[in-house]
Amino acid sequence: MITVLPLSLLSVWLTNSLNDCAATMPIHYMTVGDPSRRIAVAREDRSSEVGVLFLPGFHSKMASNKGNAIANWARTRNCSCTLFDYSGSGASGGDIQEGTISRWLEESMCVFSEQTQERQILVGSSMGGYLALLLWKQVLKEYPQEATRIHALILIAPAWDMTEKLLWNRFSQGIQNQIWSSGVYNRPSAYGDGPYPITRQLIENGRKHLLFADGWQFPEQRPPIFILHGIRDEDVPHTHSIQLTELLHDGNTRLQLVEDGDHRLSRPEDLELLCAILDAALSSDHVDTRTNDDKNTI
């Protein structure tokens, strides 16, 4: 189901309700992987059945408008909330140039399995949306008994297959040659916090994580997937989410396009929409994608 949300339908967010929650949540550190990385985790455990876990974007961090909005929503809904930073970003240690999809996925998996016990709504923004899908895929493959712990996925402008489809394929031959020969290309950032170094290691490693390259078979029972994407996104085109919706082909992925939304989707009205989707995700159940005929034969 695809809906385009006109701005007029969105009421104005009460900015004074937005507390700086992520900033006030206590941070602790966990050690992940080899070579080991020190990963900053902020968790508020409210003994709820369903919690929310936020996966930030590339070069982004938990202490952000989205992280705060999620933490604030979790407080009002009495849900456990878990935020973290990838190695090389935010409050976590390490060099972002060492980062790869494998590393950040391993860190995401460790936070999911070691820091949370409840069923989780995974909220992934940009690269975090890609990592949320990879996390789900890995749980299904390696820890199928844990699969029901993934309650729902909320993907904000998901940058699936980011390294290949959104970086490598869009680089000129000259930039591709530079990455291959020198190992890094410093890509300018549109957000004044750049440049973002794009390493050969990041690109090569990403090729091992292409979502649909291995004919991914979805389970019959699966969590509902909500996708939110701005039509004015210049980093990840909204057509990328339309294509993802088609590839997930469960007839139940809900894609909402925000007519005047940009890549960050961090305006007050965007965050309000995110909270409405969190509410929908919280009250949703796993979807049985089998047809009635299939069910009758079992």
Residues near ligand NAG (CB under 6 A) are 46-48, 78
**Which of 48/243 has CB closer to ligand NAG?**
48
78 or 296: whose CB is closer to ligand NAG?
78
CA 18 to chain centre: 21
Q: Which of 136, 288, 155 is nearest to 211 (CA)?
A: 136
- Taking only Cα atoms into account, the Rg of the chain, rounded to an integer number of angstroms, comes to 19
d(CA 50, CA 218): 23
Closest to ligand NAG by CB, 79 or 134: 79
For helices 101-110 and 127-142, what crossing angle results, to 10°?
70
The nearer residue to ligand NAG, 51 or 124, going by C-beta atoms, is: 51
Least separation in angstroms between CB 224 and ligand NAG: 23
Spatial separation of the C-alpha atoms in residues 105 and 129, rounded to whole Å: 11
CB of 283 to ligand NAG, least distance (A): 16
- What is the smallest separation between the CB atom of 232 and ligand NAG, expressed in angstroms? 39
In terms of CB distance, is 50 or 70 closer to ligand NAG?
50
Nearest-CB residue for ligand NAG: 78
Residue 289 burial by Cβ neighbours in a 10 Å radius (0-12, 13-18, 19+): middle
Least gap, CB of 79 to ligand NAG (angstroms): 8
φ/ψ of 144, rounded to 5, equals -55, -25
Taking the complex as a whole, how short is the minimal distance between the CB of residue 77 and ligand NAG, in angstroms? 9
